[in-house]
A = this chain, B = another copy of it.
Amino acid sequence: MPDNVLKLGIPAGSLQESTAELFQKAGYRITFSSRSYYPTIDDDEIECLLVRAQEMARYVEQGILDAGITGYDWVLETGADVEEICELVFSKVSRRPVRWVLCVPEDSPVRSVRDLEGKRIATEAVGLASNYLKQHGVRATVEFSWGATEVKPPTLADAIVEVTETGSSLRANNLRIVEEVLQSTTRFIANKQACNDGWKRNKLDNIALMLSACLAAEGKVGLMMNIKKEDLANILDVLPALQKPTVSSLSDADWCDVYTIVDEKVVRTIVPKLKSMGARGIVECPINKIIE
């Protein structure tokens, strides 16, 4: 047992697998057991605990956990006083942040939050919804919803404040988005006292560095190509290099090899251009991590 240990909360449920995958890419192997809420991790200086995303910030604030992974929405909802180490932009379905939105039935006359005076609003995030109404000077009843919130209007509620990624569940229930209440991404948060402890702060920073390196690499690839030396300058000009391109010699002395890192999403537009400018043997390779 090491002297120093970082108590780390892993979010149970929808973020659990993506969190474990991210840590695995970052070099930390987290193993879950169906019988235990204490996942193991191959770093003796870390102790993991599975905690609901909704409760994470509360336990981090209380110091029961030194740090944890959870959504910005639930940090706000609980109102917990915690330190944000870094933002982790990942999500199972898409790369977009989740959105909490105010919705009403398609045919409702409600057009703005101000039309909700005196109405009933159902939501799983009573704090978020109440604050939003207050900011806009609206008095309404906010009822906690135990689930299936999107089917409640119009019978069981006049409006809802609900989380959505793609909007498809809202459309399927004939709901219209009135306003966006909050955009939320995943965060790596820490207890404030833990941040003042030198050893823990350094540990938190190293973990954050590795997690960020993985996320930064997610949409990037290595691009390698053979270029005639006479074309080199022109082609380097159009390469959207994230770092300095590597230029190596080839067995044929008139040619050289260029390697660089680019955003995956520009590949489909830049490759036809590179080919037309004379690049040959263009090869795309995967990368795991990048620290710029």
Residues of A within 8 A of B (CB): 12, 26-28, 31, 33, 35-37, 42, 49-52, 54-55, 58-59, 64, 93-94, 143, 145-148, 151, 155-156, 166, 168, 172, 206, 209-210, 213, 217, 221-222, 224, 226, 236, 242-252, 255, 257, 259, 261, 264-265, 267-268, 271-272, 275, 280-292
Contact = CB atoms under 8 A, between A and B. Distances in A.
Contacts of A252: 244
Contacts of A245: 250-251
Given A64-B155, A268-B210, A244 B248 contact: no
A36 B155 CA distance: 13
A247 B246 contact: no
Given A94-B31, A242-B281, A209 B271 contact: yes
Q: Is the interface of A mostly helix, strand, loop or mixed?
A: mixed
A286 B286 contact: yes
Given A33-B168, A251-B244, A287 B291 contact: no
**Most chain-B Cβ atoms within 10 A of its Cβ — which of A31, A143, A155?**
A155
Given A31-B94, A64-B155, A268-B210, A221 B288 contact: yes
Contacts of A284: 213, 217, 287-290
**Most chain-B Cβ atoms within 10 A of its Cβ — which of A37, A156, A224, A275?**
A156
Given A222-B285, A288-B221, A26 B146 contact: no
Contact of A291 (B59, B147, B282): B282
A51 B146 CA distance: 10
A277 B61 CA distance: 35
Given A27-B268, A31-B94, A210-B271, A283 B222 contact: yes
Contacts of A248: 246-249, 259
Given A27-B268, A31-B166, A271-B291, 20 more contacts: A12-B148, A26-B268, A27-B264, A28-B268, A35-B172, A49-B156, A50-B148, A52-B148, A55-B156, A64-B155, A242-B281, A244-B250, A247-B248, A247-B249, A248-B249, A261-B281, A282-B290, A284-B287, A284-B289, A285-B286
